[in-house]
Amino acid sequence: MGPPDSPSARPASPGSTKPMIDIVDLHKTFGSTKVLTGINLTVPAGSTCVILGGSGSGKTVLMKHMIGLLKPDTGKVIIDGEDIVPMSVQGLQQVRRSFGMVFQAAALFDSMTVFENVAFPLRQHTSLSEDAIREKVRKRLDLMSLKPEVENRFPADLSGGMRKRVGLARAVVLDPKVVLYDEPTTGLDPITTDSVDEMILTAQKELGVTSVVISHDIASAFNVADQIAFLSKGVIVENGPPEQLRESTQPAVQVFLQTWFGKN
């Protein structure tokens, strides 16, 4: 049993059961270090999956396989019905158009305004007119509850939570099928963390995206996840709704829960 004061899981998503991401028996070794040793994971379309685990458990390596930045030693990475492992560079570039990425530190261009940051992918990958770009940028900023006066500000003038929102607006401006979040709440205060959780749920609800969140933050995971996959020593030792994690008998999960709640 998990700690008595564990957070409550949010209601299950009514989204599609069609797999958007299907990882099959994935193995990856760097030199003599086995990082992933048989990962199996299915993420339904329109759902939010949080990959939870401690530092060095292989979370980021797994995410890099999902977007084709790494190729496995063996195994399949099936994105929207297609195995991307044997794809050419050109094929992978096309698949990556289906992804948006929200980085831990937002990774905004310091020399660009908020508007220019969010418009950047549209200018790089589409032939939209400036009027169409402005309309699309405003819609995505509005979705993230960012007012028009924010558009001309620079990242240095924004709070941490606002930078995260701009980062997500940029990530979804090309209407991706999947959004990947790399430790989105690391180093944030509780109020800002709640704001980030809210924007993840907004993107799922309003845009229907499939979300994969790499995290070690249990409270945030319970707030946003339809599914939590707990990664330990290169394998997923628990996978299911948030409540299943709380009730897990897996020793690695129990230790993680007890350690996390002991610090919070």
- Residues 14-35 pLDDT 10s: 445 789 999 999 999 999 999 9
Residue 160 has, within 13 A of its CA and on its CB side, a CA count of 15
Q: Apex CA 225: angle with CA 17 and CA 159, to 5°?
A: 130
3-state class of 77 per DSSP? strand
Instruction: Using pLDDT thresholds of 50, 70 and 90, give the confidence band for residue 83.
Output: very high
Of the listed ranges 6-15, 87-96, 166-175, 200-209, the one predicted with least confidence: 6-15
Of the listed ranges 46-50, 82-86, 182-186, 252-256, the one predicted with least confidence: 182-186
What pLDDT, on a 0 to 100 scale, did the predictor assign at position 262?
Answer: 56
Mean pLDDT on 118-131? 93
Instruction: Using pLDDT thresholds of 50, 70 and 90, give the confidence band for residue 192.
Output: confident
3-state helix, strand, coil in the chain (%, to 5): 40, 25, 35
Q: Apex CA 48: angle with CA 53 and CA 142, to 5°?
A: 120
What pLDDT, on a 0 to 100 scale, did the predictor assign at position 65?
Answer: 96
Query: In the CATH scheme, what architecture does the domain 19-263 have?
Result: 3-Layer(aba) Sandwich (3.40)
261 pLDDT above the threshold of 70: no
Instruction: Give the global pTM.
Output: 0.85
- Between these two residues, 53 and 20, which has the higher pLDDT value? 20
Query: Bridge partners of 211?
Result: 48, 179
Q: Would you list the domain boundaries of the chain?
A: 19-263
What pLDDT, on a 0 to 100 scale, did the predictor assign at position 184?
Answer: 85
User: 190-207 and 130-143 are packed helices; what angle lies between their axes, rounded to 10 degrees?
Assistant: 120
Alpha helices in the chain (DSSP H): 59-66, 89-96, 114-125, 130-143, 160-172, 190-207, 218-224, 242-246, 251-263
Contact 63, 12 (CB under 8 A): no
Burial of residue 201 (number of CB atoms within 10 Å: 0-12, 13-18, 19+): middle
Query: What's the mean per-residue pLDDT of the chain?
Result: 88
Mean pLDDT on 84-90? 95
Structure-token match 């994105």, residue found: 79
What pLDDT, on a 0 to 100 scale, did the predictor assign at position 42?
Answer: 97
